[in-house]
Amino acid sequence: MQFCDGFNWGVSTASYQIEGAANVGGRGPSVWDMLCRKPGAVWNGQSGEEACDHYHRYKEDVALMKELGVKGYRFSIAWPRVMPEGKGAINEEGLAFYDRLVDELLAAGITPWCTLYHWDTPLALYHQGGWMNPDSPEWFADYTQAVVDRLSDRISHWFTLNEQQCFIGLGMLDGVHAPGDKLAFAEGLLAAHHSMKAHGRAVQVIRARSKTNAKVGMAPVAGLFYPDTESPADIEAARKGTFAVLKKDQWQQSWWMDPIMFGHYPEDGLKLFGADAPKVKPGDMEIIQQPLDFFGMNIYHSPRVKAGPDGNMEFVPRPVGAPLTAFRWPVEPECLYWGAKFYYERYKLPIVITENGLSNQDWIAQDGKVHDPQRIDFLHRHLLQLHRAYSEGVDVQGYFQWSLMDNFEWAEGYKERFGLIYVDYPTQKRIPKDSYHWYKEVIATNGASLELKQPAIR
Ligand code: FCB
């Protein structure tokens, strides 16, 4: 049992969650710096001001990745580090940091996979309306140009936006992420529309200016429902439910993906959202629908459903005591098999898992090590499911585990530990967990080591 030749085994991180150095090197403030100052917004009043101090410790972190044997590293660039005001002047010191990071990665034989935007909107742009401003796609295009002009001789793998569902939905509708707004649904959909145009403009800029043969995708929340049994009725109910627009909230997947992949909003969504839907101007969809090279998917869990009497899905309640992560997210490894399969069938692009992992109650044991058997079991089960998709013909090209190391988990602060490497924040000491050593073996054998004698998954 192995994955395809050249499979992209990797790890993921994001700028605000690891870099720290928030006030160093000319970086401007972002909406997250603002939210972290708001009383009660983040667990224990914490912030990413220091985080993992990766800005200063990137060499050590790249060395740990090299030792782990990853082929690729998915990281994000902080827009306010490159453009402190969000537009206009470029901060040379900011770009120089990413220069150093990329050079270090390449010297270690690791391919950089760069996310252009992982939620750190420059605060100055928020003061001009942020994603509500119709100019925001052009702001993003200009920022993308600055990055591409500087780094595309060495970076050829790009993601435009990370999880629009979260930075628009959690950030602008629910108010639990930055910028912390609770806007009307219609305003959220307008901001969403602008972010889709920003995605499209960024793809155009990358294609037009890259100095190497660029491969471009995005990294959305790949939400889904998965079938309780493999009866055709259950599978069809789950598949249909996954791409149907059923509610007025941000978790309706086809609303986000169809414009980008098919060039139009889904009919059922237009009907349900009615006057709340944004007015699509001539030319908008041509910008939004740009050819992509792979489909990035962030997947952590998904609900199980079965076909009801009318063929539509019904939720199957989880048994009492079913496994939960430390974040209280359900453990549902099947989401990786069905997610890869459903999205591949619908959008017909090679699949790259851009995030998958869990928060676990890790600490340093008396022997000085960090033992995390739950993470090993979680990743093992998920990778077996991903392999099943691959072995049945889904073109799965990569898996980026979230995350290289423990980091600032947004509104949850440092409470959640997602890393393969433990970070002792007071000393910034890194301790590879047991799962790091386990993942190293998986990578070295291209997945063959997963084939140990395993108890049946269900
Ligand atoms: C995703 C985010 C990522 C991280 C994980 C746990 O939604 O993209 O930054 O917080 O969840």
Active site residue 163: yes
The pLDDT averaged over each successive group of 10 residues in the chain (458 residues) is 96 99 98 98 98 98 98 98 98 98 98 98 98 98 98 98 98 98 98 98 99 98 98 98 97 98 98 98 98 98 98 97 98 98 98 98 98 98 98 98 98 98 98 98 97 62
Q: How far is the CA of 232 from the centre of ligand 1 (A)?
A: 33
Is the Cβ atom of 120 under 6 angstroms away from ligand 1? no
Residue-level pLDDT at 1: 87
User: Is 163 a member of any domain?
Assistant: yes
In a domain, 456, yes or no: no
Q: Is residue 106 part of a domain?
A: yes
111 assigned to some structural domain: yes
Question: At 321, which CATH number?
Answer: 3.20.20.80
**Would the CB of 163 count as within 6 Å of ligand 1?**
yes
Note down the domain range covering 109. Answer: 8-451
Q: Which of 104, 187, 332, 355 is catalytic?
A: 355
- Check: CB of residue 211 under 8 Å from CB of residue 288: no
Q: How far is the CA of 271 from the centre of ligand 1 (A)?
A: 31
d(CA 338, CA 226): 6
Q: What is the pTM of this model?
A: 0.97
User: Does 3 fall in a domain?
Assistant: no
Say whether 355 is catalytic.
Answer: yes
458: in domain: no
Q: Is residue 1 part of a domain?
A: no
Number of domains the chain is built from = 1
Residue 208 lies in a domain: yes
State residue 456's pLDDT score: 57
CA distance 177 to 168: 9
* pLDDT for res 328: 98
Ligand 1 within 6 A of CB of 119: no
pLDDT at 458: 52
pLDDT for position 440:
98
Tell which residue, 168, 140, 156, has the closest CA to residue 288: 140
**Under 8 Å CB-to-CB from 237, ≥6 apart: which residues?**
225, 227, 305, 306, 307, 308, 311, 312, 313, 314
What is the pLDDT at residue 454? 56
- Ligand 1 centroid–CA 281 distance in Å is 32
